[in-house]
Structure 1
Amino acid sequence: MTDTGGEQTPARVGELLPWSVRGIRTGRPWVVSADPEVLEERWRRLVAAPADERSALFEPSRARTLDSAVPGLPGQRTSTRRLSREPGGQPPLVRVRTRPFDRAWLLADHRLLDQARPELWRADGPHQRYLLVHPEPAPPSVSAELPVDPRVRVHPLHRRPDGKEPNLVPGLLRHLRRAYAAPVTAESVLAWIAAVSAHPGAARDAVPLPRSAATWAEGVALGRRVIELHTFAQGGGLRLPDGRRTFVRQPVDRQPEDLGYDADEETLILGEGRLAPVPPQTWAAETTLREWFADRSAFRGAPSGTLAALGLTAWPQRATTELVELTTTLARLAELLPAQRALAADGGPWFTRADLREAAILPVPPAARRPASVLDRLEEGPEGQYALL
């Protein structure tokens, strides 16, 4: 059959999760750090600086200067006075996602951020999950934290912080429940998307939906395991696929200069430090590991005298703990990769975009692409004024 206008292709990510927005653009690197203590010191240095030095330390941009008047960040308790007049207390430190598998901390203050994406903060909550579509060649990932990367397209799972209004094209859940004669939730749709899309080599913008209820159930179960790993939901209790655990064989007692790997010993090397066992499938994600490591050494390349140049002089124990968690997570994801690829390749036949049009699901109504009006809190406007949104 001839494909006319893509009607015989699978649905696109933006058709299933229609409301999306770009990730946060900070405008200045010093407001993000892998270590919360570094952010505390940077804030103290900014506030204590003489007035004639504070502007240079702040690193003003077209969007933000010390005199910018902006409303408060939704859900965060910060001053809305101009930074040049009244910095106020230290802003909250909020966990964010800087790379597909890298978490950091952010000084959550609207006055510090060029494009904070308030609509994302309004919808953020304990039930929220985000499907992140990264620039090529990185595949999509799932995060429990807001992403700090304006190149990322963010598809929240829910339109409100209470998790009661899914960010799904209207009619999709009803259609799938009828097709599979089984309960289907927003969470199971995200799990399916993670199973077929969140792996190397996946079609970036296509989400094939199976006609088979058995295939759907298999994919949802697989996707839930993928999401647990992407969101680090299993914490420090992870084991390697063969049941072993990664241990610190030799502590990292100072700031390491480089990251390396000994394949024969299955050992990750950080200066004098040694972590083992680290299986080869983890080191296959060498770029991810090196980017993670560079983010914790990034202050070394920052210009002297800037806030971004302020960093830890010693490697913190918590960084080693997070690295063990990351290496184990990457090994577990490598274990799931064959099943993910097989599901995407062999799980058909699929519902096409033409099928979804016939079911009156597509095209996406314009209202579904806009953020919801969240009216459950007062938000402080510039200079202490209040605005009800």
Structure 2
Amino acid sequence: MAARRPGTGESTPARVHFRSLPEAGRAEKFEALAGTSLHDDSWTDCPSDWRAPFLPRRSAEWAGYPALDQLFDYDGSGVMPGRTWVIAPDTQSLEARWKRLQAETDPNKKEMLFHPHLRGGKPGDKHLNKVVKEGLTGHRHAALSVANDKGPMNVPQRYGFRSFDRQWIIPDARLINQANPNLWATNSPRQIYATAPHDRTPTGGPALAITSLIPDLHHYNGRGGRVFPLWADSESKTHNFAPGIIAELSAPLGFEVTPEDLFAYIAAVAAHPDYTARFAKDLKQPGLRIPLTVDADLFAQAVRLGREIVWLHTFGDRFADPAAGRPAGAPRMPEYGPVVSKDGTIPDSPERFPQDISYNGDTRRLHVGDGYIDNVSPAMWTYEISGVPVIQHWFSYRRRDRERPVIGDRRPPSPLGRIQPEAWLAEYTSELVNVLHILGRLVALEPQQAELLKRIVSGPTLTTDRLREAGVIAEVPS
């Protein structure tokens, strides 16, 4: 409802008031509306600045924490391939798709297989006859169109497709609509990426995810998000945190904070379900905020815990430290972890290619087609990233029928995407076991993260006011 009194002018911002209906059924909402008055005390004031959202002022606690994007110097979109056939959970599918594309002699069919990006019904930036001047850092680049390329496919690169779902991509600038060259140019064996929702509110599970791989646009949970790299260069010499933030944090702590320390701290604080639940009301206005403790002991505890979180999210690729219980390689639960017995081997014959996955809580058994994995806890099975069940979503890209419904009036994807293995691959089983072990260890750490966050928010923190006064961050919205 909008109202304008006589005598008001365009130079004065309007007063905005807000109230929420109860989180209940439709009948209860209508009942609440019937009892609503413009003069009762259930309305709260919204911020008065010109570009503020029509939402209540955030709690003083929440507003005092710096926003995640204020802590980093750069954040951007992940890779937007624009065509599904350039990504697969195995490399042999990509090789077969490339060869099929090359073998097509009919120009119209070949263009349909390539699946060009359309603008106004015509091929857009990336199309079959496009000659791309620059390739992706670290990968072979052919300075000719795909239509004229008779050479081999670029060697596939492991790719952060979704949280806990590592797939493969053809690293070829001619095939990817928006590759985000900055991500490829700054990629390295030490690079780490955090991904988090940007224009949406996390609804459950960790509020951010981490990967050592160049991430997809939809890495966090399949619905967009932003990417926050640790390093700003491929040599890992320049960190990507906002200038001055590490110095401002180091001063009250009494020791020098490293970029890896701060990244691990953020992972410990936000990459767990209690963060999402604790700040659920504040997160209704999208955008994560990170409470930065100035308690040296708490900070050190968070760093130790965060390094393990990063190690798990990256499948052991980052922050490995055998002395700290983080050996190199795929993480494993210390005991009673997921295991495939001889009788439970997932069949690798075409006629028994798994189509369905299910879970039996009584036997703690995960059924994959005619095979199964034992010692799977209910928490592993139900682990989610903002409403997306990780295991079920992971399996949907590897089952026999991988067709997905076309949303709206979008074009169906290229038929190349239907080229896949004729049977379940052993590497699928190995990776599924890896994911289950990782989820099991993450679940075991959640109580520690919850208790740590409780202690952090109960104590002194480095506030947005202090960071703004120091010139480290820009003006903070109310």
TM-score normalised to structure 1 length = 0.87
| Corresponding position of 2:467 | 356
2:245 is aligned, of 169, 172, 177, to 172
Deviation at 1:8, TM superposition (A): 4.9
2:4 aligns to what?
none
Whether contact under 8 Å (1:110, 1:116) holds in the other structure is yes
Q: C-alpha distance in 2, partners of 1:285/1:296?
A: 19
2:142 & 2:172 partners in 1: Cα distance? 8
Q: Which residue of 2 aligns with 1:255?
A: 353
Q: Residue 181 of structure 1 corresponds to which residue in structure 2? A: 254
* Pairing partner for 2:230 from 129, 151, 157: 157
State the Cα distance separating 1:6 from its structure 2 match: 9.0
Is the partner of 1:27 in helix, strand or coil?
coil
Which residue of 1 is the match for residue 177 of structure 2?
A: 114
Change (3 A) 1:8 1:200: closer
Change (3 A) 1:353 1:251: same
- C-alpha change, 1:305 and 1:161, in structure 2 (3 Å) is closer
CA displacement at 1:91 relative to structure 2: 1.3
CA distance in 2, matches of 1:124, 1:237: 21
Choose which of 59, 70, 83 in structure 2 pairs with 1:15.
70
Q: Give the secondary structure class of the aligned counterpart of 2:402.
A: helix
Q: 1:259 to 1:235 in 2, by over 3 A?
A: farther
Offset at residue 87 of structure 1 (A): 4.8
- What does 1:340-379 align with in structure 2 at a 5 Å threshold? 340-347=449-456, 348-363=459-474
CA contact (8 A) 1:129 1:158 kept: yes
Hey, what's the Cα distance between the residues in 2 that align with 1:31 and 1:237? 26
Select the structure that is richer in strand. Answer: 1
User: Any conservation in 2 of the 1:3–1:9 contact (CA below 8 Å)?
Assistant: no
| Pair 1:324-2:438 in alignment | no
Match in the other structure for 2:209:
141
Matches of 2:59 and 2:430, distance apart in 1: 52
Residue of 311, 326, 333 corresponding to 1:240: 333
Which structure's relative contact order is higher, taking Cα pairs within 8 Å and 6+ residues apart?
1
Higher Cα Rg, which structure: 2
Asked if 1:217 corresponds to 2:300, the answer is yes
Cross-structure match for 2:370 = 272
Q: Distance in 1 between the 2:329 and 2:366 partners?
A: 18
Whichever residue aligns with residue 56 of structure 1, its letter is: M
1:86 equivalent among 149, 154, 157: 149
Gaps of 5+ in 2: 1-56, 118-123, 219-223, 280-286, 317-326, 405-411
Identity %: 32
SS in 1 for 2:340: strand
Q: Distance in 2 between matches of 1:38 and 1:89?
A: 14
Whether 1:100 aligns to 2:163 is: yes
- Tell me the CA shift for residue 349 of structure 1: 1.9
User: Which residue number in structure 2 is paired with residue 46 of structure 1?
Assistant: 101
Q: How many Å separate the matches in 2 of 1:128 and 1:98? A: 16
Gaps spanning 5+ residues in structure 1: where? Answer: 365-389
Normalised TM-score (structure 2): 0.72
Q: CA RMSD in A?
A: 2.3
